[in-house]
């Protein structure tokens, strides 16, 4: 395995976005709209997923997903690890402020403060912060480390979402939900690999790396289809597998050559249809 290709993939495995200036928010509706817009702009796939959730919890999902966008932006835009860690620490302290009933004046923080049982959810959000803290360590640039990173980011976000969607869900549901988040995070990250940094022999090495990852994910997606859940709301999070299926098929058709993959495909209609189909016909 070529180490360069693993380093490249590791350094590109994030949801790109812009570090937007955060305006002062005056009421809860503005905070909700801020979170919703951020997720729409930077994590559209999971925004679509939230539309299948009951109205009463949708704003809570947007708060968690907006946090994920904010943190992903830190690592995506700050090249110096120490500066990134300072900003990640800001979020840890923001969580403390929520538990002290004095949330910091930030729209996402204020919305997280409105989550039911934030103390329970914080554990999973802390895992996201911890995963990004070690993102720049080169000795973690292995296939297994990439999977671990995806599990602790996308997987942990999914479990946090599970707590607001189905507070009484069985603990046995958390494993598959985490797995679905991991698979989605890996495949979305692969699509975000910077094409300008691939070419010639290097591109071939990256292609082999991506194929190895894809070959591992395909049986995981197949196995998750057979899982039964106690509530329909829990299965909402598993519907992301529908989009993961589309992404993996696109990679396979391109023979894992990212230069042959169009970021405009699959279309929004295909994604929404895949989510609907998975949600309606999953067990």
3-state helix, strand, coil in the chain (%, to 5): 75, 0, 25
Q: What confidence category does residue 115 fall into, taking pLDDT thresholds of 50, 70 and 90? A: very high
| Residue 188, domain CATH | 1.10.600.10
Considering only CA atoms, which of 218, 221, 183, 205 is closest in space to residue 257? 205
Cα 124 from Cα 132, distance rounded (Å): 13
The pLDDT tens digits of the residues spanning 237-263 come to 999 999 999 999 999 999 988 888 887
Q: Can you give the C-alpha Rg of the chain in angstroms?
A: 18
* Domain carrying residue 231: 3-281
Q: Could you say which DSSP state residue 139 is in?
A: G
Q: Residue 73 and residue 38: Cα distance in Å, rounded?
A: 11
- What is the per-residue pLDDT for 167? 85
What is the arithmetic mean of pLDDT over 178-203?
Answer: 75
Using a 10 angstrom Cβ sphere, with 0-12 exposed, 13-18 middle and 19 or more buried, the burial of residue 128 is buried
The count of domains in the chain is 1
Contacts of 36 (CB under 8 A, 6+ apart): 47, 59, 62, 66
% of the chain surpassing 70 pLDDT: 83
Q: Which of 143-147, 202-206, 224-228, 247-251 has the highest mean pLDDT?
A: 247-251
Residue 269 pLDDT more than 50? yes
- Distance of CA 166 to CAs 170, 264, 283, Å? 9, 33, 17
Question: In whole angstroms, what is the distance from residue 18 CA to residue 21 CA?
Answer: 9
């Amino acid at each position: 395995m070529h180490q360069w290709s693993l380093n490249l993939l590791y350094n590109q495995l994030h949801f790109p976005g812009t570090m937007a200036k955060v305006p002062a928010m005056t009421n809860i509706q503005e905070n909700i709209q801020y979170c919703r817009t951020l997720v729409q702009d930077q994590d559209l796939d999971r925004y679509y997923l939230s539309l299948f959730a009951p109205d009463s919890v949708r704003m809570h999902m947007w708060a968690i997903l907006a946090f994920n966008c904010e943190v992903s932006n830190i690592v995506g835009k700050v090249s110096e690890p120490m500066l990134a860690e300072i900003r990640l620490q800001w979020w840890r302290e923001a969580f403390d402020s929520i538990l002290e009933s004095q949330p910091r004046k930030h729209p996402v923080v204020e919305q997280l403060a409105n989550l039911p049982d934030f103390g329970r959810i914080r554990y999973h959000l802390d895992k996201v912060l911890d995963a990004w803290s070690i993102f720049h360590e080169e000795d973690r640039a292995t296939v297994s480390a990439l999977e671990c990173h995806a599990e602790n980011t996308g997987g942990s976000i999914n479990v946090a979402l599970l707590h607001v969607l189905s507070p009484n869900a069985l603990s046995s549901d958390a494993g598959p939900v985490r797995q679905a988040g991991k698979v989605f995070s890996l495949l979305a990250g692969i699509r975000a690999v910077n094409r300008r940094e691939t070419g010639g022999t290097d591109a071939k090495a990256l292609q082999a790396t991506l194929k190895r990852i894809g070959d591992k994910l395909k049986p995981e997606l197949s196995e998750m289809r057979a899982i039964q859940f106690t509530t329909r709301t829990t299965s909402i999070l598993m519907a992301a597998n529908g989009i993961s299926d589309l992404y993996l098929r696109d990679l396979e058709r391109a023979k894992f050559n990212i230069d042959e993959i169009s970021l405009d495909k699959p279309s929004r209609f295909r994604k929404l249809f895949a989510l609907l189909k998975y949600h309606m016909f999953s067990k």
